[in-house]
Amino acid sequence: MILIHTPSPKEVAAYLQLFRAALPQQVFISLEEMHDPALVEYVVTWGPPVGLFASLGNLKAVFALGAGVDKLLARDDLSPALPIYRLLDGGMAPQMAEYVRFGVLSYQRHMDIYRRQQAAGVWKMLAPRLPGEVQVGVLGLGEIGRAVAQALAADGYAVSGWSRTPRQLDGINCLFGDDGLAELLAGSDVLACVLPSTPETRGLLNAERLASLPAGAMLINAGRGDLLDEEALLAQLDSGHLRCAQLDVFASEPLPADSRLWQHPAVTVTPHIAAITLRSQAVEQIVANLARLRAGEEGQGKVVRERGY
Ligand code: NDP
């Protein structure tokens, strides 16, 4: 038996319909339909209720309906021995590439400055800047970060990327490690973060690293909110060292009403929408993974708990 749960009953209904159509011989249930927790072998979930996993004594694996698993790994009702599989792309990579390209293009074409000029009734042309003159640093070169970096390179930007282990990508200056990060930050007119939240990455974008970006740089954060020191960002924007920021993820979500980020003229706030799981792709991927597990093979997208992603 496979339990499907997300906080939205409408979404659960949509997933149940897709899973049941894809695997008619398999029993899929919602939480409301679960009468005997001992029969549940797999859970497909996003935002499971507290304590759910403790009640499922015969669970074999968890399938996350997203790419980031920081919230799942932080739970204390999930046995460390239980495998977690997350989505690889799941339709999110092209959306994330759009989200970051939008920010980079706005920066290249000075749209943030023109918006502020408009608010002040100022008619002033700025010198145009070509894509090749804008250096973009992408933090994270995984399933999603790779697609972002490659889309930006195809647009003509000068792209560097940063990962934990060495990577090689055509047209991207790939860097890793502490030295690689320092080099990338110093050379990024736009820094785009699509890192996971892990014990190593939390708080990465602190005051010192933000200050090491070139004057007039932009920050895009679509990874996770706890990677960024929001007060340090506000200080850099207030001082004028950083020009603008486009933020999709926040230390606390929804972004609290009293956060200064809401009103800051140099900040664009979006409500964690940079990339949304596409249901059909999620179902296709999880069905294929179930087949692998039942054939005794390893599933794809297995989270390595020790590294946190
Ligand atoms: P992957 O696991 O495929 O890739 C993660 C990347 O981050 C890898 O390149 C990895 O390096 C790198 N990385 C991890 N830890 C470190 C570190 N300590 N130092 C340097 N690099 C590191 O993840 P995805 O690309 O699928 O997703 C990335 C994140 O994007 C998700 O975890 C989630 O937080 C966020 N996200 C946000 C969404 C939104 O709507 N805002 C939607 C979807 C995802 P290496 O290559 O060496 O392993």
CA dist 32 and 129 (Å) reads 56
pLDDT band at 10 (very low <50, low <70, confident <90, very high): very high
pLDDT more than 70, % of the chain: 100
How much is the pLDDT for 123?
98
Structural domain that includes position 65: 2-90+277-294
CA dist 298 and 287 (Å) reads 14
Pair (11, 50) in one structural domain: yes
Q: Enumerate the H helices of the chain as residue ranges.
A: 9-22, 70-73, 92-108, 111-119, 143-154, 177-186, 207-211, 230-239, 279-294
**Is 300 part of a structural domain of the chain?**
no
Nearest alpha-carbon partner for 261 in 203, 223, 219: 219
Pair (66, 118) in one structural domain: no
Pair (228, 286) in one structural domain: no
Pair (119, 242) in one structural domain: yes
Q: Are 163 and 142 in contact (CB under 8 A)?
A: yes
Pair (15, 40) in one structural domain: yes
Pair (153, 86) in one structural domain: no
Q: Are 301 and 88 in contact (CB under 8 A)?
A: yes
Nearest alpha-carbon partner for 23 in 4, 36, 46: 4
Pair (202, 107) in one structural domain: yes
Pair (13, 84) in one structural domain: yes
Nearest alpha-carbon partner for 139 in 74, 70, 65, 224: 224
257-263 average pLDDT score: 98
219-237 average pLDDT score: 98
pLDDT band at 214 (very low <50, low <70, confident <90, very high): very high
**Is the bond preceding residue 254 a cis peptide, omega within 30 degrees?**
yes
Pair (98, 86) in one structural domain: no
264 in active site? no
Q: Which of 115, 272, 279, 305 is catalytic?
A: 272
**Residue whose CA lies nearest to ligand 1 atom number 1:** 142
**Residue whose CA lies nearest to ligand 1 atom number 3:** 142
Q: Enumerate the H helices of 176-229 as residue ranges.
A: 177-186, 207-211
Q: Are 223 and 194 in contact (CB under 8 A)?
A: yes
pLDDT band at 74 (very low <50, low <70, confident <90, very high): very high
pLDDT in tens, 154-194: 999 999 999 999 999 999 999 999 999 999 999 999 999 99
**Is 59 part of a structural domain of the chain?**
yes
Cα of 218 vs its chain's centroid, Å: 18
**Is 307 part of a structural domain of the chain?**
no
Pair (115, 29) in one structural domain: no
Q: How far is the CA of 142 from the centre of ligand 1 (A)?
A: 5
Pair (111, 220) in one structural domain: yes
- Classify burial at 79, counting beta carbons within 10 Å of its beta carbon; exposed 0-12, middle 13-18, buried 19 or more: exposed
Q: 36 is written with which tokens?
A: 């005997």
Please state, as a whole number, how many other Cβ atoms lie within 10 Å of the Cβ of residue 216: 12
Please give the mean pLDDT across all residues of the chain.
97
Domain count, the chain: 2
The string of DSSP letters for 134-152 reads: -EEEEE--SHHHHHHHHHH
ipTM of this complex > 0.95? yes
Q: Which residues, judged by CB distance below 6 Å to any ligand atom, belong to the binding site of ligand 1?
A: 67-68, 92, 140-145, 162-165, 167, 194-198, 200-201, 222-224, 248-249, 272, 274-275, 309
**Is 309 part of a structural domain of the chain?**
no
pLDDT in tens, 82-141: 999 999 999 999 999 999 999 999 999 999 999 999 999 999 999 999 999 999 999 999
29-44 average pLDDT score: 97
Helix, strand, or coil (residue 159): strand
Pair (109, 185) in one structural domain: yes
How much is the pLDDT for 228?
98
| Alpha carbon distances (Å) from 293 to 62, 100, 297 | 12, 35, 5
42-69 average pLDDT score: 96
Looking at residue 169, its amino acid is L
How much is the pLDDT for 23?
98
Looking at residue 66, its amino acid is G
CATH of the domain at 31: 3.40.50.720
pTM of the model: 0.97
**Is 299 part of a structural domain of the chain?**
no
Q: Are 143 and 163 in contact (CB under 8 A)?
A: no
